Amino acid sequence: MSRGHRSAPFGARVLGPRDQSVFRLRLRVQLLLTVLLVGTNVIAAGVVFLIASFVVPSPSPTGATRLALAIAVPTYVGVAVLVGVTVGTRLSLRALGWATQGDRPHQRERLAALRVPQRLTVMQATLWLAATVLFTTLSLVLQPERALSTGLAVGIAGLVACGIAFLLTDFVMRPVSAQALDGLPYDDRPRGAGVGGRMVLFWCLGTGAPVVGMVVASIVAAAGDDDSRSRLPYTVLAIGAVVLVFGLLTTVLNARSVVAPVVSVRDALLDVERGDLDREVVVFDGTELGSLQAGFNAMVSGLREREHLRDLFGRHVGHDVARAAADDGVALGGEVRVVSVLFVDLVGSTSYAAEHDPAEVVDTLNRFFGVVVEEVDRQRGLVNKFIGDAVLAVFGAPVDHPDHAAAALAAARTMADRLAAEVPEIGVGIGVATGEAVAGNVGSASRLEYTVIGDAVNSAARLTDLAKQVPGQVLVAAQTVEAAHPDETAHWRAHEPVVLRGRTSPTETAIRTP
């Protein structure tokens, strides 16, 4: 798991970890909302006051106008902040009650939580609309020639402030949105502007609206007196600064709202590429980007399920067989291969099972099978079948083995030593043979099994029965020793020929060197 995911699952460390307590979540959300929203709107109000009083290309405010603005602006801003904080806190806490109490939300509560940014923005837009009406009316009463510029200044600033406030609210609400979106089907999410629509909308608010104000200011200056025209450059500079600062801020916030979900998915993809299939992305966005996050989680869930099934399949048929089936598909039939076959069987397992507790018998069998499987795997063989208390292993199929004979002999030696030391309560017989066999899938189209059929399999099974009476309890075909690498043949010596059941001619054999 990447460090960024651990420290900032919501795209920013200031939003806290995913598993933060209910108290910390409530305190964090409320504090950030209050500071960011109040700060944004107070700064916007100050900018409006400065522009309307000293910059707009309209007659300079009279003494009465300046006095009225000096009283009305701080009074209205104070009242608006008080109303906004009070109503906004009540509105957000009512919609987020389940989140701040640690409850599981109902469908209606989820949707209400996801709509909190829109509702807070509507509330702020209402306050700015009231400010536009109030100060435009005040200008009409005291100095009518300033009414148009005042209304435009307040209205445009309100639009920009509301756009920034929405982005900040949406940012702060990510931890709550993640809880609300958890388990919510995409079709049931509230419909709103997608990524493309939001980008166009916020360009209009952060850049388009101030530019419109600049155009209107130019028209007003052109139609006004010499004083208005002389102040036009300062107006352009002031509104240009607003475009640069607030337009850039809106663009950055909007870009971060798009980039954060994409980065979370990108980092998660890198973790999955490294093999971390337990990786998940926190879904905190309600647009198409949220669908991307949710789609990633669904994809990883499918990969985990596929890997789980592949692991189970591999445990049943062998991982090499499972990989071959996944890469090439499965079909009835097989191919002729020269392989080495190892067969191992317990001695007296029937009487042992009759004389011991079933749980003890199962424990003994599991230890026996554990040793056999480990040694076969170590030599890159395939445990093909568990046949009661016997095991059939093959070396050289389905994956080619450059020295399958030596691998089978080495597995037989180490297997015999370990079984004698780790499962001493019961004896074994181990047989190994090399020859041609048909390796492939047998059965029907609806149920098949990978198996190895041929003389080498029969020979190994017959040698296993005879191995129970020879020293070391391992008996192998001499042909296998001859096919093995010299380093391995040094561990074996010739034994007397035997006539295997079902044959008429003797088979040369070998046993371990003392």
Domain boundary among 261, 283, 300: 300
Quick one: 178 and 136 in the same domain? yes
**How confident is the model over 255-306, as pLDDT tens digits?**
777 788 888 888 888 888 888 888 888 877 767 777 777 778 878 888 887 7
CATH number for the domain harbouring residue 391: 3.30.70.1230
Q: Name which of 100-109, 293-302, 421-430 the model is least confident about.
A: 100-109
| Structure-token match 């095991």, residue found | 391
How far apart CA 416 and CA 427 sit, in angstroms, is 10
Residue 1 confidence (pLDDT) = 44
Residue 192 has pLDDT above 80, yes or no: no
Any idea what the Cα angle at residue 497 is, between residues 495 and 501, rounded to 5°? 125
- Whether 56 contacts 217, CB under 8 Å: yes
Structure token digits, residue 89? 């806190």
Quick one: 197 and 245 in the same domain? yes
- Whether 154 contacts 50, CB under 8 Å: no
**How confident is the model over 475-504, as pLDDT tens digits?**
999 999 999 999 999 999 999 999 888 888
What is the H or E stretch that residue 346 is in? strand 333-347
Q: Could you list the residue range(s) of the whole structural domain that residue 505 is in? A: 330-512
Residue 5 lies in a domain: no
Residue 316 lies in a domain: no
CA distances for 277 relative to 42, 271, 299, angstroms: 47, 8, 10
Q: Rounded to two decimals, what is the model's pTM? A: 0.56
Quick one: 254 and 366 in the same domain? no
Number of domains in the chain: 2
Contacts of 284 (CB under 8 A, 6+ apart): 10, 11, 174, 175, 177, 178, 181, 261, 290, 293
Quick one: 385 and 288 in the same domain? no
Any idea what the Cα angle at residue 177 is, between residues 33 and 34, rounded to 5°? 5
Residue 213 has pLDDT above 90, yes or no: no
Quick one: 197 and 250 in the same domain? yes
Residue 319 lies in a domain: no
Residue 342 confidence (pLDDT) = 96
Quick one: 284 and 387 in the same domain? no
Residue 318 lies in a domain: no
> What are the start-end ranges of the H helices in 383-454?
404-422
Quick one: 414 and 479 in the same domain? yes
Quick one: 356 and 280 in the same domain? no
Domain boundary among 300, 322, 351: 300
Tell me the three state secondary structure of residue 503.
coil
- Whether 271 contacts 263, CB under 8 Å: no
Residue 7 lies in a domain: no
Residue 325 lies in a domain: no
- Whether 452 contacts 384, CB under 8 Å: yes
Residue 9 lies in a domain: no
Residue 432 lies in a domain: yes
Quick one: 400 and 266 in the same domain? no
Mean pLDDT, the chain, whole residue set: 79
Quick one: 225 and 368 in the same domain? no
303 alpha carbon, distance to own chain's centre:
11
Name the amino acid, one letter, at 92.
S
**How confident is the model over 111-123, as pLDDT tens digits?**
777 788 888 888 8
- Whether 58 contacts 228, CB under 8 Å: yes
Give the number of residues written for the chain: 514
